[in-house]
Structure 1
Amino acid sequence: MRFPLLLLCSLLICAGCSENVVTTAETSAPEFQNPILAGFYPDPTICQANGKFYLTTSTFAYFPGLPIFESEDLVNWELIGHAMDRPSQLNTMGSGVSGGLFAPGMTFHDGVFYITCTNVSGGGNYIITATDPAGPWSEPTYLPEVNGIDPSLFFDEDGSMYIVYNSIPPGDSSLYSGHRTIRLYAIDRESLSVTGEQTLLVNGGTDLSQEPVWIEAPHIYHINDYYYLMCAEGGTGPQHSEVIFRSDSVRGPYEPWDQNPILTQRHLDPDREHPVSYAGHADMVELENGDWWAVFLAVRPYEGNYFNTGRDTWLAPVRWTDDGWPVINPDFEEVQFSYPTPLGTTVDATGDRFSGNIVFTDEFEGDSLNLRYLFLRTPQEKWYDLSDGELTLELRPETASGRGNPSFVGHRQHNMTGEASVLLDFEPSADNESAGLIAFQNERRFFYIAKTMADGQPVIQFKKSVDSREGGTEVIESAPAPEGPVQLRISFDGADYALSFAGADGDWQTLAEGLDGKYLSTDDAGGFVGVVLAPYATSDGQESDNTASFEWYRYAGNDAVYR
């Protein structure tokens, strides 16, 4: 089978530069490349257990929810499972793609892993537990008294358990837009229910007189003589930041540091080369050697505030000041695309990568889907099959424009530059039947290259979403389909997208190029997710017995620009 040119180039790039391993001449120390989880992996939270690190992120309306990553050194990460992988745990049907699961907090205590999170589409805040982070995780225990988002758990030295979270202003009366608070409850460890009275820890933010907005994502750490409360402030956009408070009691009062924020990029020129923006929503962890490191979200705009890859997970060192305050990224004004690895280890360029130049090929030879894939909302039935080296999707009435669970097997767009491609075996029998590859931002913003039927003949079409309440698609370009299986490809370079197709062994033909990818950007489309590339099939509102088979899916992304 012929490899697309960009895929070959990316393979050569990865082989030639050892992917995201960099060595500095000054220190001869190995370096890692940021982001450590590239693409739609926002709101990271981290904990340490049994000599390893574990991390999870938000997934919103996608299923399964809350990916669980494991690492021995903070830079080589393996996806080992998902915390919410059963429909009984998570139902996001009917939700917009930016609904569902917001901002988890993960903790390990006394042999048990805990995750607390908010399902904004139903149920609110909950706690799940596991003794093995790869799962299975428990059914959710909901906390109806915890009214807010972004919860995290804290265990004190005496075993006391607390939940801290973002909530409404005192008296439910906002003094200004974006006025929020940080609150705390004690939790009973046996029943996982709240106990006692709620405590208001922070009202508004670091300085209420300045009307700070969206104080959120709290984490509490007990370090030496102080309880530290670390929060995001400014909203998850260009004004995002991380701030720190401390107290000699877990219930406060908490004093903000007079040098806040401890991390932000909001003061930098947005037109600088290769900007990092939106930095905030952090969590931090101490290594065995006493060093501290923080994970946080940030984005890689290609122009202004436009980015399509979503909010990534980044890693940076933490340094403590002489008077006992933590600073993230202490040696630089700009967040760096590379730092010396925390433990002096090298980055494995041969494994299943989630950063740097990412090449992923799936020929569907196993009996289960790769853990990388996402369904759009919670499946209510099994509509796919893996057999004979193919992924077969049933054509069903559900569409990407709706709020159901379409026949959609998604893979994140990790890189600013790259491509995704499939080999599709499908014979449409009616105009409403289509199958192909979709670049999906939300229900009203996607590009779709599909094999379908028009005027009784098989064709390849570029279908663009209709950005309206009614949804649907409009046909932008159409060409006769090659006979037999077809290759379909979506290429991207910043804001520039292109769609092309070929026979199984034929030459590529451009169907559409110069497409404005800002249409798929978070800044233009709204929401909290990034672009997801997916093999997709639909009968567009009508019943069908047809199926579409994909012989392979390939993704090749290139981040060499950041080296």
Structure 2
Amino acid sequence: MALFFFESLHAQVFSDFTYKGNDKIYAENRLEEDEFYSPILQGCYPDPSITRKGNDYYLVNSSFAMFPGVPIFHSNDLVNWTQIGHVLDRPSQLKLENAGFSEGIYAPDIQYNRFNDTFYMVTTQIAGGIGNMVVKTKDPKKGWGEVQKLNFDGIDPSIFFDDNGKAYIVHNDAPPKGTEQYSGHRVIKIWDYDLEKDQVIAGTDKIIVNGGVDITQKPIWIEGPHLYKKNEKYFLMCAEGGTGGNHSEVIFIADSPKGPFIPAGNNPILTQRYFPKDRKDKVDWAGHADLVETSDGNYYGVFLAVRPNEKNRVNTGRETFILPVDWSGTYPVFQNGLVPMKTKVKMPKGIKNQTGQNGFFPNGNFMFNDDLKSVKLDDRWIAMRGAREKFTVQTKNGVKINPFNVNSKAKAPVSALFHRQQHASFEATVSLDFKPKSEKELAGITCYQSENSQYVFGVTKKEKDFYIVLERTEKGNSTTISSEKISLSKNIKLQVIAEGDDYQFNYSLDEKKYKNLGGKVSGDILSTDVAGGFTGSLIGLYSTFANDIKL
């Protein structure tokens, strides 16, 4: 599809964006000096992977059809994190133009190779015919190289560097043709990896896990594998059970990187599946983990989990959590990873909690203010399927979004800047300078779970009149909830307020008094259990020249 943007005679300028979290759990669980909150990355930051070089830790996440892709964070202490950009930040690295929101980049793995002082990021790009791929850098703060396609099928690759300098790739794959025993039956494969050619070595692949811990129990979706070496033994850690309510993390041991791998007797080593569904402050779906050793020989594990709201919706998506890991025995065990998870974690010794200060990423009930007038957009603003620079112009009054000739329901690049929903209860407000010239033009806010599941709240025109409209799209079917004729003499303020599953869309024409449009509406379509897929909800500053909302 050819995309064009239309530059209106009258600017469509967004400014003074404010996002404020208001989750009860943080109000009821104030931090002591020796505590920090987990998740460390709230909102849609799933499938975390972590590595260390010296005192520098780097963490990456899945990004699906978001552009730029694979957000990357840096820390010196595992508590205070700074986003240093994205691994995949160029159109040459991402081919997402026709990807659904839950396609694109899956399960990145980041590892540091001390033998050549190089960082590797391997992932699966389910778009553009790319598949499994690797990029490299000497310094994650200075950008990454071009994509090298890897010659194997399956998903969730990770790379392992043995202490003899050899390298291997492990990944999830389908069982050999004709051997599948049940739906969800998967295997873990290993390949030798040629560090000179950056490619797996043909013919070296071997299945090292078939099905999971116990194939007689028909375990599903053994995936997200990582290899580690400790005390001359090799450990293979994988997710098992599917990335929903039965999710878990399991561990295997072997004398060789190619096995045979024997499952630990105490599996799983991390899960939340055994506890009452109505437990207070529920954390669920825990799994897809990665381990890192600190410079003093301790271990921590990062993993994904969700925090459902009062109606068991997961609008914030899969978030990045962290726990200390006890590896004093044969196998690693996530501390408090097999009991109902708590909101707070004890600080590592000698560390000061600076989250939300001094440039460090916030957590808890934080506020994010952005006047949108900076020369460079904050890294938290992402686009969908294409570069932000294709439709944004920084001005002294805010960010101008030139509309594409497709709307947010298209499986195509969208002219919108997105910020993740990071709380079950939040308030987001933005100022909009916009006077549409035709009914094809619309600008406003979208609460977006996918191209098929979203709310659009914005300003458009019919004949000679301006209107404020609210539309709900569920499974691709759109309904206009409400519309009102308005007078536009200056900027309009748009606001979305969520309290768990209840969302309200408000507007102000005088920047003081807000009026609601459409009453309380359900956030059900912003949760994966209704919308499907793997993502959390996003809040978009949105403009289109293909408005199709019926008035």
Distance, in Å, in 1 between the alignment partners of 2:199 and 2:493 is 53
> 1:232, 1:241 within 8 Å by CA — same for their partners in 2?
yes
Partner of 2:43: 39
Please give the residue correspondences for 1:109-508 in structure 2 after superposition, counting only pairs within 5 Å. 109-110=113-114, 111-121=117-127, 122-144=129-151, 146-171=152-177, 173-195=179-201, 196-303=203-310, 305-320=312-327, 322=329, 324-330=330-336, 333-348=339-354, 349-350=356-357, 351-379=359-387, 382-465=390-473, 467-468=475-476, 474-508=480-514
Q: Indicate conservation of the 8 Å contact 2:301/2:334, yes or no.
A: yes
Provide the C-alpha distance between the structure 1 equivalents of 2:156 and 2:45, rounded to a whole number of angstroms.
15
Contact 1:163 1:186 in 2 (8 A): yes
RMSD: 2.3
CA distance in 2, matches of 1:482, 1:467: 33
Conserved in 1, the CA contact under 8 Å of 2:239 and 2:248?
Answer: yes
Pair 1:68–1:358, CA change in 2 (3 A): same
Deviation, structure 1 residue 172: 5.2
Partners of 1:35 and 1:437 lie apart in 2 by 27
8 A contact 1:438–1:448 mirrored in 2: yes
Please tell me whether the aligned partners of residues 41 and 321 of structure 2 are also in contact (alpha carbons under 8 angstroms): yes
Change (3 A) 1:6 1:43: closer
CA distance, structure 2, for counterparts of residue 237 and residue 103 of structure 1? 15
Q: Please say if residues 19 and 367 of structure 2, whose CA atoms lie closer than 8 Å, have aligned partners that are also in contact.
A: no
Aligned to 1:548: none
Judging changes above 3 Å, is the alpha-carbon distance between structure 1 residues 259 and 31 closer, same or farther for their aligned structure 2 residues? Answer: same
1:332 to partner: Cα distance: 5.9
What is the distance in 2 between the residues matched to 1:475 and 1:537?
19
Q: Distance in 1 between matches of 2:416 and 2:19?
A: 24
**C-alpha displacement at 1:454, in angstroms?**
2.6
Q: Report the alpha carbon displacement of residue 291 of structure 1 after superposing the two structures with TM.
A: 1.5
Aligned position for 1:101: 105
Q: Measure how far apart 1:356 and its partner are.
A: 1.0
SS across alignment from 2:177: helix
Instruction: Give me the whole-angstrom Cα distance separating, in 2, the residues matched to 1:444 and 1:482.
Output: 30
> Residue 106 of structure 2 contacts residue 124 of structure 2 at CA under 8 Å; is this kept in 1?
yes
Contact 1:451 1:481 in 2 (8 A): no
Shift of 1:135: 3.3
May I ask how many residue pairs the two structures share in their alignment? 527
Q: CA deviation at 1:259?
A: 1.1
Q: Secondary structure at the match of 1:432?
A: coil
Question: How far 1:474 sits from its partner (Å)?
Answer: 3.1
Q: CA deviation at 1:226?
A: 0.8
More displaced 10-residue stretch of structure 1: 275-284 or 495-504: 495-504
- CA distance change for structure 1 residues 164 and 155 in 2, over 3 Å: closer, same or farther? same
Q: Distance in 1 between matches of 2:188 and 2:370?
A: 44
Q: How many angstroms apart in 2 are the aligned matches of 1:229 and 1:86? A: 33
Q: How far did 1:211 drift?
A: 0.5
CA gap 1:338/1:466 in 2 versus in 1, 3 angstroms: closer
For 2:503, the aligned partner's letter is: Y
Whether the aligned pair in 1 keeps the contact of 2:167 and 2:194 (CA below 8 Å) is yes
One-letter identity of the residue aligned with 2:143: P
Say which SS state the counterpart of residue 141 (structure 2) adopts: coil
Change (3 A) 1:33 1:141: same
C-alpha separation in 2, matches of 1:507 and 1:3: 17
Q: Which runs of 5 or more residues in structure 2 are unaligned?
A: 1-14
Does the aligned pair in 2 maintain the 1:459–1:480 contact within 8 Å? yes
Distance 1:479 1:35, change over 3 A: farther
| Cα deviation 1:138-195 (Å, max 9, x = unaligned) | 1111012x21101100000111011000001133531000000000001110110111
TM-aligned CA deviation for residue 10 of structure 1? 6.3
TM-score, normalised to structure 2, is 0.91
Residues 199, 3 of structure 1: alpha-carbon distance in 2 compared, 3 angstrom cutoff: closer
Name the CA distance, whole Å, in 2 between partners of 1:415 and 1:49: 32
Q: Please give the alpha-carbon distance, in whole angstroms, between the structure 1 residues aligned to 2:457 and 2:64.
A: 25
User: Secondary structure in 2 aligned to 1:409?
Assistant: strand
1:88 and 1:43 map into 2 onto residues whose CA distance is 23
- 1:79 aligned residue: 83
Deviation, 1:334, is: 1.4
Checking the alignment, whether the CA contact within 8 Å between 1:358 and 1:414 is kept in structure 2 is: no
**Given residue 526 of structure 1, which amino acid in structure 2 is its aligned partner?**
G
Q: Is the 8 A contact 1:188 1:194 kept in 2?
A: yes
Which stretch has the larger CA shift, 98-107 or 332-341? Answer: 332-341
Q: Which moved more, 1:387-396 or 1:399-408?
A: 387-396
Q: CA deviation at 1:522?
A: 1.1
Task: Please point out which of 26, 49, 55 is paired with 1:51.
Answer: 55
- Counterparts of 2:293 and 2:48, CA distance in 1: 16
Query: Counterpart amino acid of 1:428?
Result: P
Q: Distance in 1 between matches of 2:187 and 2:51?
A: 25
Q: SS where residue 146 of structure 2 aligns?
A: coil
- In the TM superposition, what is the alpha-carbon distance from 1:199 to its structure 2 partner? 1.1
Q: CA separation of 1:407/1:272 partners in 2, compared to 1, >3 Å: closer, same or farther?
A: same
Instruction: Return the TM-score normalized by structure 1.
Output: 0.89
Structure 1 stretch 283-292 or stretch 437-446: which is displaced more? 283-292
Residue 11 of structure 2 is matched in structure 1 by none
Cα-to-partner distance string for 1:279-313 (whole Å, 9 max, x where unaligned): 00000111122221100000000135411001000
Offset of 1:344 from its aligned partner?
3.6
Deviation at 1:137, TM superposition (A): 0.5
Where structure 1 has 5 or more consecutive residues not aligned to the other structure, the ranges are: 24-28, 543-563
- One-letter code of the match for 2:270? L
Q: Which structure exhibits the higher relative contact order, with contacts defined as CA atoms closer than 8 Å and separated by 6 or more residues? A: 2
Amino acid in structure 2 at the alignment position of 1:22: L
1:329 deviates by 2.4
Deviates most, 519-528 or 327-336: 327-336
Structure 2 Cα separation of the partners of residues 5 and 280 of structure 1: 32
Which segment is superposed worse, 151-160 or 355-364?
355-364
Query: Which residue in 2 is equivalent to 1:537?
Result: 543
Q: 1:22 aligns with which of 28, 31, 51?
A: 31
Q: In 2, Cα distance between the equivalents of 1:337 and 1:138? A: 38
Contact 1:321–1:327 (CA under 8 A) maintained in structure 2: no
Q: Distance in 2 between matches of 1:134 and 1:472?
A: 43
- Corresponding letter in the other structure for 2:290: D
Q: Deviations over 1:216-239 (max 9, x none)?
A: 000000111210000000000000
Please state whether the residue corresponding to 2:57 is helix, strand or coil.
strand
Q: State the alpha-carbon separation in 2 of the partners of residues 214 and 5 from structure 1.
A: 40
2-side partners of 1:57 and 1:77: how far apart? 13
Question: What is the CA distance between 1:331 and its match in structure 2?
Answer: 7.5
SS in 2 for 1:197: coil
- C-alpha displacement of 1:132: 1.2
Letter of the 1:118 partner, please give it. T
Instruction: Note the alpha carbon deviations across 1:291-347, whole angstroms, 9 max, x for none.
Output: 21100000000135411001000001111253x111112476112211111244122
Counterpart of 1:498 in structure 2: which amino acid? Q
